[in-house]
Each structure stands twice: as C-alpha cells, then as structure tokens.
C-alpha cells in the first residue's frame, strides 16, 4: 500500500470520518441479540456463530427458561441442550461448549462471567470475538474490537485494513479508533454491513461513506 489513499494519515482521517458519520446514523448502537445478564449475552453470542441473531433470539427464551444461569447449565444434559439449540447449527459443539463454559464459570469464577480478556479466553467456545462482545456490552470493558464477517468486509472495503485474519484486522482497527469507541465501532460496522454495505450488492448510491470509500474488493468475489 504505497499510494496516497493508503497512507497512515489518509487512513486515520478516513477512519475518523467513518466513525463520525456512522455515529450519526446509529445514535444508540447495540447488539441485536436479546439478553438481560452477562451470562445470557455470553450464551447468545456463542450460539450466534454461523447463525443469525434473529434465529438465536427465537431459541434463547426457551433455553433461559429451562437453564436460568451457569449453575443450571453446568448440570444440564448434553442431549437436552442439543435439542433446544439444534436450529442454530453446529448444535453438538455449541452445547458441549455451553456446558463446559458454565462448569468453569461455576468452579473457577464463583458463578460470575469473567471481566477480563485473559479470563474470558479460558472459557470453552470463547475466542476474542465473543470475549470482546461480552466484555464491551455487559461490562463496558473495551479490550478490543469484535471482528465478525461484517466487520471484516466493511473494514476491508473502506481501506482500513488489508488483512484477512480477524486478529490482524482487530490489530489494525484498534490503532485507528479511540479506545472508548471500540464497542460502538463493532456495532456500527455490523449494522452498516447488514443494512447498507451488504456482501453481494452494496448500496453505494445511497451510502453516506461513498465519497471517502475506496471500494476495495467491491465487484470481486468476497
């Protein structure tokens, strides 16, 4: 990246403009998952892997009615949990991780979802993306920026990163945005990716970022 549009100064200015404009579009950004406690958010986020938030929100009311917290989930049977979450996909592995994460929370963290990245990453089924979502939304702790398929796509199209791995994308993004905005940046890019800059046919003609977007990869296979 040697041309002007990818110089550090240019990218930093673009990032600032992106944050300011999307903040106007999404005045109260938040996850579309339904949750009332850190545990519920953790469960919903684990279930959301390779699944829509809408589908997860259909499943979790029954799940939380049957197993209200980590204590109940830790003692749940694998088959019972699988039956409830089957429609979210990869249900066997997700059920195994939910039960194991619940057990660790009970035995190691006194029944409370951890509040640090280091501790979150010890939970089965939890990688940086899930940890960032829970820490930011449940506790207001900003350890990084959760990178999902929307964040990956939008940050690349906007020229904010040239990387493809989530960890490296996150590294680039946290350098461009103020720490206190990291949680909001995830929401901005996820919502924008769902509503405007969709994968197959981005709505560039009605996009408020059109004048500053280099459209990296647009028109190519994602």
Report pLDDT for 222: 46
Helix axis angle, 78-85 to 91-108, nearest 10°: 120
207 is in an annotated binding site: yes
State yes or no: is 148 an active-site residue. Answer: yes
User: Does 204 count as an annotated binding residue?
Assistant: yes
Q: What is the pLDDT of residue 7?
A: 74
pLDDT of residue 57: 98
CB 108 within 8 A of CB 70: no
**CA–CA distance, 96 with 100 (Å, rounded to integer):** 6
* HEC letters along 95-147: HHHHHHHHHHHHHHCCCCCCCCHHHHCCCCCCCHHHHHHHHHHHHCCCCCCCC
User: Measuring CA to CA, how many Å separate 49 from each of 93, 117, 130?
Assistant: 11, 19, 9
Q: Considering the chain, what percentage of its residues have pLDDT values greater than 90?
A: 93
| C-alpha span between 153 and 58 (Å, rounded) | 27
Q: What contacts 176, CB < 8 A, 6 or more positions away?
A: 11, 12, 15, 160
Q: Which pLDDT score is estimated for 9?
A: 79
pLDDT at 220: 60
**Separation CA 161–CA 42 (nearest Å):** 28
Cα–Cα distance, 40 to 37 (Å, whole number): 5
Q: What is the pLDDT of residue 6?
A: 62
Q: Which of 12, 53, 96, 148 is catalytic?
A: 148
Domain architecture of the chain: domains with CATH: 8-29+146-212 (1.10.1670.10), 38-139 (1.10.340.30)
- Per the confidence metrics, is the pTM higher than 0.85? yes
Whole-number Cα distances in Å, 170 to 39, 44, 87, 151, 173:
24, 22, 30, 9, 5
Q: What is the pLDDT of residue 20?
A: 97
51 is in an annotated binding site: no
Structural tokens at position 16? 């600032």
The one catalytic residue in 5, 96, 129, 211 is 129
Residues of the chain with pLDDT under 70: 1-6, 220-222
């Amino acid at each position: 990246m040697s041309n002007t549009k990818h110089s550090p100064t240019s990218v930093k200015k673009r990032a600032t403009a992106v944050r300011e404009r999307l903040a106007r579009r999404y005045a109260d950004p938040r996850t579309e998952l339904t949750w009332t406690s850190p545990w519920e958010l953790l469960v919903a986020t684990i279930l959301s892997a390779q699944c829509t938030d809408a589908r997860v929100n259909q499943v979790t009311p029954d799940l939380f009615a049957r197993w209200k917290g980590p204590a109940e989930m830790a003692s749940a049977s694998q088959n019972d949990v699988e039956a409830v979450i089957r429609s979210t996909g990869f249900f066997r592995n997700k059920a195994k991780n939910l039960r194991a994460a619940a057990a660790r929370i009970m035995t190691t963290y006194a029944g409370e979802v951890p509040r640090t990245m280091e501790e979150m990453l010890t939970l089965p089924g939890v990688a940086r993306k899930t940890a960032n979502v829970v820490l930011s939304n449940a506790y207001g702790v900003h350890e990084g920026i959760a990178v999902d398929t929307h964040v990956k796509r939008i940050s690349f199209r906007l020229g904010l990163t040239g990387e493809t791995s989530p960890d490296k994308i996150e590294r680039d993004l946290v350098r461009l945005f103020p720490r206190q905005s990291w949680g909001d940046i995830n929401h901005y890019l996820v919502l924008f990716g769902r509503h405007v800059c969709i994968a197959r046919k981005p709505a560039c003609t009605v996009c408020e970022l059109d004048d500053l977007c280099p459209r990296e990869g647009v028109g190519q296979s994602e």
